[in-house]
Chains A and B, each alone.
Chain A
Amino acid sequence: MDSFGSDLSSGSSSGKIDPGTIMEQVKVQIAVANAQELLQRMTDKCFKKCIGKPGSTLDNSEQKCIAMCMDRYMDAWNTVSRAYNSRLQRERARI
């Protein structure tokens, strides 16, 4: 994360701000933050679904459950994304 900050400051020392570089960095950071959010929520949901009484290790069934849960969560995310997108388009078409 800190490397992004140093890139930005080094660009400004030359006196010219390059919009292309900034936009690239914006997009990368947003993507990273989005992935972090996804992982945080996925971990929360899959822990609740797959781990009953926490033991001393994650046994095989729990590992398989987590793997399946991750795939299902991402499928669900994509489904919700499509549904929300089509709803937004429908609402815009009405205006």
Chain B
Amino acid sequence: MMSLVMTSYFCGGSSCFHVHACQRAPLLYPSHVPVYIICFYKSFAMADFSSSFDMPSASLSENAEAAELQRLIAVEQQKAQFQAQVHNFTDVCWDKCMDKPSSKLDSRTETCLVSCVERFIDTTLTITNRFTQMVQKGAH
């Protein structure tokens, strides 16, 4: 599914290197398609248009436009990362909190979901902090 989206944009020309740059960064971008999409658009926005399309070298206004585009894309990237996290949390917390699907989300389940998100984040922070300590201690 991912390759369908990607190759339809960047086939041939100097833009091809952007494909490889985004595929090489699986650790930076979680395996979630919208974030990959943004990676490609960012590469596109940063591309040197003048060399690709035989235009006179980029003027000041074009640089400003590209910078603004990068900023807008960064905003969308943040939103996409937020949604990717919501998908992950919902996945985990559904298993923890939902018993039988009923006709309404009762308040007990809703409380469980909220607590689940909070505790999951707390767990992530605890693990990160303790791991950092372990690594620092191990370095001596």
Q: Do A and B bind each other?
A: yes
Q: Which residue numbers of A lie inside 8 Å of B, CB to CB?
A: 1-2, 4-6, 8, 12, 15, 17, 19, 22-23, 26-27, 29-30, 33-34, 36-38, 41, 45-46, 49-50, 65, 68-69, 72-73, 75-77, 79-81, 83-85, 87-88
Q: Is the CB of B8 within 8 A of A4?
A: yes
Min CB gap B93→A, angstroms: 6
In the docked arrangement, what's the CA distance between A88 and B102, Å? 30
Q: Is the CB of A83 within 8 A of B83?
A: no
Contacts of A77 in B (CB 8 A): 86-87, 90
In the docked arrangement, what's the CA distance between A65 and B99, Å? 13
Q: Is the CB of B72 within 8 A of A33?
A: no
Min CB gap B8→A, angstroms: 3
Q: List 29 A-B contacts (CB under 8 A).
A: A4-B8, A17-B69, A19-B65, A22-B41, A22-B45, A22-B69, A23-B72, A23-B73, A29-B5, A30-B79, A36-B33, A37-B32, A37-B87, A41-B90, A49-B100, A65-B101, A68-B101, A68-B102, A72-B101, A76-B94, A76-B97, A77-B90, A79-B105, A80-B86, A81-B86, A84-B86, A87-B117, A87-B121, A88-B82
Q: Is the CB of B82 within 8 A of A69?
A: no
Does B19 reach chain A (CB closer than 8 Å)?
no
Interface extent on B, as a size class? 35 or more
Given contacts A22-B69, A41-B87, A76-B90, A33 and B37 within 8 Å (CB-CB): yes
A-B contact count (CB 8 A): 123
Q: Is the CB of A68 within 8 A of B103?
A: yes
In the docked arrangement, what's the CA distance between A84 and B41, Å? 27
Considering the complex, give the chain A residue whose CB is closest to the CB of B83.
A34
Contacts of A81 in B (CB 8 A): 83, 86
Q: Is the CB of A17 within 8 A of B65?
A: yes
